[in-house]
Amino acid sequence: SGDDKAVPRNILEQIVWDKEVEVSQRKAKKPLKSVVESSEHAPPARDFIGALTAAHRRNGVPALIAEVKKASPSRGVLRENFNPVEIAQAYEKNGAACLSILTDEKHFQGSFENLETVRNSGVQCPLLCKEFVIDIWQIYYARSKGADAILLIAAVLPDLDMKYMLRICKNLGMTALIEVHDEKELDRVLRIDGVELIGINNRSLETFVVDTSNTRMLMEKRGDIIKEKGILVVGESGLFTPDDVAYVHSAGVSAVLVGESLIKEEDPGRAIAGLFGKELLKVGAL
Ligand SMILES: O=C(O)c1ccccc1NCC(=O)[C@H](O)[C@H](O)COP(=O)(O)O
């Protein structure tokens, strides 16, 4: 045909292709053996699921995983004046149970330095490394920078990789948040042993379409088996109002992952009470 240059079919494919290049460059600088060693010297991982369960019980609304995200492919720059530590501290002070730190540089303007500085800033909330994982190297690297949990995306990883990565997370004491978007992905994940935390993304990572009824629809179909297995569910993306939060809560989620609606506000910490319609109690509160 003459034109045989490969072109990504969608943004997720673009991100994954870019990630292949990035990870191979990082591995050349710091081989797996060395990053495994660094992960062994990190302070122990904190209990991500325990923090979510306690916050859900404490507040009677889904536990908040507040996302520290400067930019995204669908929305561009969300916040010009971006200080990850200030934002993380404000989220914690206002009742976030856990934090999600974007580490992808190219598409989200995040970094592993952000993860590390938040971890070293005195913030106590468990931290999710929000990364596009394609290689076990990234899991050890995240742990070495202080991550307590890591995202594994079903649309990116075949079952065999998912199972292997889950075992590595367990060995490191980390939680894996397994993200699905549709019924096919959810069914694949529900067949894997040892899954404890599933995120239902309301955003298609291929088309960017956000629809909160996705969480409800998947919970209606598979809520029983999810409950039977004792899996905790996180509702992800597109949550802007107390009604949105109540809607996914009634669908059966115990936690929500929220980025845009908080980070775009002048005062992201105070925006939490606006999102839930009430102030959230912090860890240690009665
Ligand atoms: O947000 C994007 O544009 C995006 C594009 C491609 C892959 C992932 C993407 N976002 C990751 C997320 O799912 C969200 O950051 C997260 O769920 C929070 O969503 P929101 O509250 O809508 O910012």
Is 3 inside a domain boundary? no
Identify the CA nearest to 64 among candidates 244, 191, 286: 244
| Closest protein CA for atom 10 of ligand 1 | 72
* ipTM value > 0.85: yes
pLDDT per position as a tens digit, 42-59: 999 999 999 999 999 999
- 236 Cβ inside 6 Å of ligand 1: yes
Active-site residue list: 67, 69, 130, 179, 201, 236-237
- 259 Cβ inside 6 Å of ligand 1: yes
- 111 Cβ inside 6 Å of ligand 1: no
Is 168 inside a domain boundary? yes
CATH of residue 217: 3.20.20.70
pLDDT per position as a tens digit, 45-101: 999 999 999 999 999 999 999 999 999 999 999 999 999 999 999 999 999 999 999
Q: What is the mean pLDDT of the chain?
A: 96
Is 248 inside a domain boundary? yes
Q: State the closest ligand 1 atom to the C-alpha of 262, by its place in the atom list counted from 1.
A: 21
Q: Confidence band (pLDDT; 50, 70, 90) for 26?
A: very high
Task: Quote the number of domains for the chain.
Answer: 1
Q: Given the structure tokens 């989620």, which residue do they identify?
A: 253
Is 281 inside a domain boundary? no
Cα separation of 180 and 153, whole Å? 7
Cα separation of 4 and 66, whole Å? 42
pTM for this predicted structure:
0.97
Is 131 inside a domain boundary? yes
Neighbours of 69 (CB within 10 A): 25
- pLDDT score at 206: 82
Is 165 inside a domain boundary? yes
| Closest protein CA for atom 1 of ligand 1 | 72
CA of 105 to the centre of ligand 1 (A): 14
Cα separation of 193 and 249, whole Å? 25
Q: Is the pLDDT of residue 284 over 90?
A: no
- 69 Cβ inside 6 Å of ligand 1: yes
Cα separation of 171 and 160, whole Å? 17
Which domain covers residue 156, as residue numbers? 11-276
- 131 Cβ inside 6 Å of ligand 1: no
Q: Confidence band (pLDDT; 50, 70, 90) for 228?
A: very high
Is 107 inside a domain boundary? yes
| Closest protein CA for atom 3 of ligand 1 | 74
